[in-house]
Structures are given as structure tokens and as C-alpha cells.
Structure 1
Amino acid sequence: MSATALAEYLILQPDGQETILHDSRFSRPPIVTANGDAMRALRAYNCDPRRDTIALDRVKEALNQRAAGWDVKPKTRDEALRCIESIDLFLRHENAFGTRAMALSQPSQFDAIDIEGVLVSIRPDFLVSGGRDRIGAGLLRVAKAPDPDGCKLDETKRRRGEHRREMARYMVALLQMLLEAQDGKMGVPDRDLCFVADVRLGERIGPATDHAIRLRSIRGACRQIAKLWPTITPRPGVLRK
């Protein structure tokens, strides 16, 4: 189960939780990761101490050329334009994220960690180095849904924004759990060095004031998921594939 799926499971109503569990068990991962070009470029940019925006400009130029191709498929064009938008949003909010002041490095791929019988895949975009051997981790969130700017009503916009913030707070807790599972090999985990930078909100989200309660909620949810997992059956649409 992915960290994103688990974070969303924790804030949804039962019918939404059922869909999360079903999709986590039966849906195949996409061959091409959404926003892949943007994420690779943004990881490299943030881990370069120079923070040279020329590198991002080159990526955007290549994406624009791809989108403008006369024989390009609509899906490929849409993906290129989404990547350009993600890079632009990051640059617009970079000062708010405060990432320029951080010592960031690209992590190797972590193994999934066992949380109360559930294997959870947590893949940070950055490691954050602090003083006195402290270590943190960060995630860039570029996914559009739920999009606060894609609605007219202020209440809907507020609700979607809070949905993203709540997910981010749980993901920060999961980042801490990931680092603690490394048994000190990478340094002393520091939750205050863990964050989610949400390009749609233009906010850097760190540990919640009720962070300890969220850690307990994650463990409780995973115990529940471990019991439910064997009972999850594929929906008709999955069986037809």
C-alpha cells in the first residue's frame, strides 16, 4: 500500500476507504508515472546547491516541443502540459516552501516498512540534513486532485484545501516512521525536518500539533486494514480486464 493511499484512507468516510483498499489491492500501477518528467527535474534542481533555474527552463522547453508535435498523442500532450504547470507552480511558490535554505539530497529507494501487518511503500523525494546528525525527509506533492482552484464556491475550495493539508500531515508522520525504521543508520530522525511541499496550495506542511495522535491513528488503521485485507474482493470491472 502506498503512503499516499494510506494517508487518504485515514481521512475518508467508509465508502471512500473501501475504494482505497480495493484499488490498493487490485489496480495495476501505471506504466508511465504521472508528472514523471516534472518530478525528476524538480528533484535534481532542489538537490543541486546552486538551484540553477536554467535547468528547469530546459526541461520546460523540451516539454513544450513535445506537446507541440504534429503527431503527438493527446495523452502525451496533456502529460507534457501538466509537467510544465507543475514546474511553474513550484517556482511560483519556492520562497514559501523555504527549500533553498535546506540541505537536500536525493534518497535511494527505500523498502516498504511493516506497520502493524501492512507493508507501506513510502518514497520521499528528498532527505533533509540537519545539525548534530539529524535527518528528515520531504515530499513534493504535485497531484492535481482534489484541486482547490478547480471550483467556484469558496466552501468547496476550503474543503479541498483542507483535504490536501490533512493528507500531508499524515504523510509527514509516515516519513518519520520510515526514518525510524532505518534503525539509526541514516542519522537521528527529526520530525521537524520532515515536510510536504504542496505546489497546488503553495504551502510547506510540517508536523501537526497532534502529531503523536496521528502516529497512533496510523498504527490503528493499519491493524484494521490487515484484518480486512483478506476479505477484499475484486469488483466486476477488474474481473473483466
Structure 2
Amino acid sequence: MDDYPELHPSIRENPEPRMSAVSLAEFLILKADPQADVLHNSRYSQTNIRAAYASARHGLRLYNLDPRRPIGPLNKVKDTLLRKAENPDLKKRARTSYLRSAELIDLFLLRENALGLRALPLAKAPRFEPLDVAGLELSIQPDFMVEPPNGRIGAAILRVTKAPDPDDCRRQSTKDERGEHRREMARYLVAMLEMLLNSQPAFRGRVDRSLIFVSDVRLGEKIGAGPGHDGLLRDIEAGCRQVVSLWSDVKPRPSILKKDD
């Protein structure tokens, strides 16, 4: 249509319903107004954003894939991040990003034993095609495959995102609330990982729910399937149907439109 608003060049519209696993987990646990934000940002996504903590995540993946868990290369990643942060020409946002990535590595090492990764036979996860769940293209990308020699298979996500950060608050009640928010998201991610593995050819191995988990660095916890796991699977399918039904009504907000010259 000629009168359809023109988006800013940094914004890409996804005309068909598509979400990441993290976005869907957020959508499922949030109330109406934040849900609208998730929907909007999934339909109209920015094209020039580098994934948060990308350098630190890459170093942590390599560290965990090596059975020897050599600390030297991980320290080199941290030292490189700190050197980059010292550049006086950096903008504040970039400097903060480098410093937070370095802090993330320290936090991981401090909490490593509680994250449940060290004792497991981890393999590099391939890039998986999106799943079609009730008409929604759902992108589920584990950080690791768990492949013991007995023919079973699992998968793990290393969750490093800062928000909501339980440590960045004074009141215990707020800390508890943020922690439970992260745990609930993790439980949905575990359910989506199981859906992903069950959709794969049988030659990959027999899916073992006990080998599917999220290691949350901010919480210092390994979170697996809980008592209500089967109900979460049903919730995910219902949530996907809801997203599909709402998708065409999501309009671009003024903040992402192309500005007049």
C-alpha cells in the first residue's frame, strides 16, 4: 500500500510470525503491555545490533567444549575486553559493554561449579532451522549438545543476559522476584529445547529430558524440567497460536519510522 509507513533503514519487518525462544518465553510470562513490546520488537527487528556479550559468550563456549577446561584462553578473552575498554575514543555505551563482558567471565568462573556443565560431555550445537509451532516460526538455538556415549542426547543454553538482574537491587523481595522471573523463563526454554530435539531425526540419539537444561550465570543455577513441564509444552503451543493471531495487527511505532529529511 502506498500509504504504508516507511521504516527506518536499520529496521527489518518480519511479515510472517517469527520469534526467538527467549522472546517467546518473555511473551508467555509477561502481562499485556510488556507482551505488546515483545510482539512489536519481534515483528520489527533492528538489523545492526550485535548480540550482547558476543565475545564473552564465544570464549565461554570454547572453554566448555574443551574437556580440559583451560583457563588461559578465557583469561586472554577477558584481557582483550579490558584493553578495548581502555580506549579513550570509545563511547560510554561501548566501554560499558566491554567491561560487562569481562565481568561476565569472572562471574561464570565464580559460579561454574553450580552451573552443571563441567561434568558433562558437551559438543558444539549446530545451527537449527526454526520450528513451525502452530504457524509460528520459532528459533531455538542451544549453546551445547549433551551427548553421552550411551545413545542419549540433550541440549543446554548458557544464559548470560543481565536483565532482570537479581544482584542489582536492594530489597530482598525484588531480588526474589527477579530470580523467579529468570527461573520461569528458563523452564520455558527447557521445554522448547525438548520440542526442538524431539523434532530432529532419530539418528541424533534418544532424547533424555534429564540432559536438557539452562545454566543461568546470573543466578548461579542449573535449571531443568520441573514438575509442571508437560503443562509448559501445552502453554507454548497455545502461546504460539496467540502470537500468530495477533501478528497482522502489530503496527510500527513512530520511533522506528524513517524520519523526514
Fold similarity call, TM over 0.5: yes
Q: CA deviation at 1:73?
A: 2.9
Aligned: 1:124 with 2:142: yes
**Structure 1 residue ranges, 4+ long, deviating more than 6 angstroms after superposition:** none
Distance of aligned partners of 1:30 and 1:14 in 2 relative to their CA distance in 1, 3 Å threshold: same
Q: 2:42 aligns with which of 24, 28, 33?
A: 24
Give 2:190's aligned residue: 172
Give 2:232's aligned residue: 214
Give 1:97's aligned residue: 115
| Code of the aligned partner of 2:206 | V
Q: 1:182 aligns with which of 200, 203, 206?
A: 200
Q: 2:124 aligns with which of 106, 118, 134?
A: 106
Moved more, 193-202 or 230-239: 230-239
Q: CA deviation at 1:10?
A: 0.7
Q: CA deviation at 1:106?
A: 1.0
Q: CA deviation at 1:47?
A: 0.3
Distance of aligned partners of 1:168 and 1:30 in 2 relative to their CA distance in 1, 3 Å threshold: farther
Offset from partner CA, 1:93-149 (integer Å, 9 cap, x none)? 111112110000111111111111100111111000134311111011111101111
| Code of the aligned partner of 1:217 | D
Is there any run of 5+ residues in structure 1 with no aligned partner, and where? none
* Alignment check: 8 A CA contact 2:116 2:215 kept: no
| Code of the aligned partner of 1:105 | A
Q: Which has the larger radius of gyration?
A: 2
| Code of the aligned partner of 2:214 | V
Q: 1:38 aligns with which of 47, 56, 75?
A: 56
* Alignment check: 8 A CA contact 1:130 1:193 kept: no
- Could you say which structure has the higher helix fraction? 1
Distance of aligned partners of 1:156 and 1:30 in 2 relative to their CA distance in 1, 3 Å threshold: farther
Where does 1:124-143 land on structure 2 (aligned, <5 Å)? Answer: 124-143=142-161
CA distance in 1, matches of 2:203, 2:132: 18
Offset from partner CA, 1:215-238 (integer Å, 9 cap, x none)? 000001111111111121111212
- Secondary structure of the 1:194 match is strand
Offset from partner CA, 1:168-218 (integer Å, 9 cap, x none)? 000000111111111324211112101111111110111121100000000
Give 1:162's aligned residue: 180
Moved more, 128-137 or 41-50: 128-137
Aligned: 1:192 with 2:210: yes
Computed over aligned residues only, the root mean square deviation of the Cα atoms, in angstroms, reads 1.2
CA distance in 2, matches of 1:68, 1:197: 31
- Could you say which structure has the higher strand fraction? 2
CA distance in 2, matches of 1:174, 1:15: 24
CA distance in 1, matches of 2:28, 2:188: 8
- Secondary structure of the 2:204 match is coil
Q: 2:80 aligns with which of 49, 59, 62?
A: 62
CA distance in 2, matches of 1:185, 1:77: 45
Q: CA deviation at 1:77?
A: 1.4
CA distance in 1, matches of 2:175, 2:49: 32
Q: CA deviation at 1:18?
A: 1.3
CA distance in 1, matches of 2:245, 2:203: 32
Q: CA deviation at 1:29?
A: 4.2
Aligned pair count reads 241
CA distance in 2, matches of 1:102, 1:138: 10
CA distance in 2, matches of 1:202, 1:119: 31
Identity %: 50
| Code of the aligned partner of 2:88 | W
Moved more, 93-102 or 73-82: 73-82
Question: Taking structure 1 as the reference length, what is the TM-score of the superposition?
Answer: 0.96
